[in-house]
Structure 1
Amino acid sequence: MSVKLHPQLQADTYTLGQICDCTLLLHKNALIPWFILVPDTNENEIFKLTANHQAQINNATNQLAHFVESHFKTDKLNIATIGNIVAQLHIHIIGRFTDDFCWPAPVWGQADFAEYKEQDLLSIKQTLIDNKLIFI
């Protein structure tokens, strides 16, 4: 990635690899499968990108959404580009369960937190590699 990650994204996530022209991050809260795509751009809104770049990001988002839904057996997906606190363009792909720690409320700003075990983190990364979703 030629664009530097916002410090808040660096602090809150693990870097998993690249998908299309996006960096794929995993939020550090293991209570929920929460992935973040960060397109390689200085623009902060998707509509400001070329149609080709938008299509690449949409493709990466869809690939990751399918992975999250099938791998984690989620009840619902939340996909959002809010950016009120972190203006850098990033897309949240969050797997939700009707019995998760904050259902049906948003995951943002919740105090509940659990660290990933190193083996679980490595397993998620390896599964993404095996499914040819990311490269390192």
Structure 2
Amino acid sequence: MEFKLAPELARDSYHLTDWPLCGVRVMNDRQFPWFLLVPKVADVREIIDLTEDNQLQLLNESRFLSHWLKAEYQPDKLNIAALGNHVPQLHVHHLARFQTDVAWPAPVWGKQPMQPLEESEVARLQSLFADITF
């Protein structure tokens, strides 16, 4: 079976780059630095459904993205989660959280409407990630 990105993820985020296992995406919400890793594996819902090698690769890519988020945004806290209650396709959220953000300390989901990213910010992130080799 061929990998296909869930339509909800395609609708709500922008593609930044592809790493060995995952597509790297940014959520279309300027309220939070909110990124996704989406393993490019067909019909995977849970991390444990990946092969052991792919689980380790996901961990490596998550660690890399987490270090980048800390360096780029200097957040008060990183939130990393693979929830999938609304979108069952495996995807791992990486959010840089701040005590001053609109949802702090609660989860960001469903607290307020998303506010679209500026096109210039999407272009900046796409350019940055084009230069990142994993």
Once the two structures are superposed, what CA deviation does each residue of 1:49-83 show, in whole Å capped at 9, x if it has no partner?
A: 21111011111111101111110111100000011
Contact 1:20 1:57 in 2 (8 A): no
Match of 2:59 in 1: 58
How many residue pairs end up in the alignment?
132
Structure 2: runs of 5 or more not aligned: none
Aligned-partner SS, 1:116? coil
Tell me the distance in 2 between the aligned counterparts of 1:13 and 1:110.
Answer: 18
TM-score normalised according to structure 1 size: 0.90
Letter in 2 for 1:99: T
Aligned residue for 1:22? 22
Unaligned runs of 5+ in 1: none
Measured against aligned partners, the alpha-carbon deviations of 1:108-127 in whole angstroms (never above 9, x if no partner) come to 11224322111111112222
Aligned to 1:8: 8
CA distance in 1, matches of 2:63, 2:70: 10
Match of 2:77 in 1: 76
Stretches of 4+ aligned residues off by more than 4 angstroms = none
State percent identity of aligned pairs.
36
SS of residue in 2 equivalent to 1:95: strand
CA RMSD, Structure 1 to Structure 2 (Å): 1.3
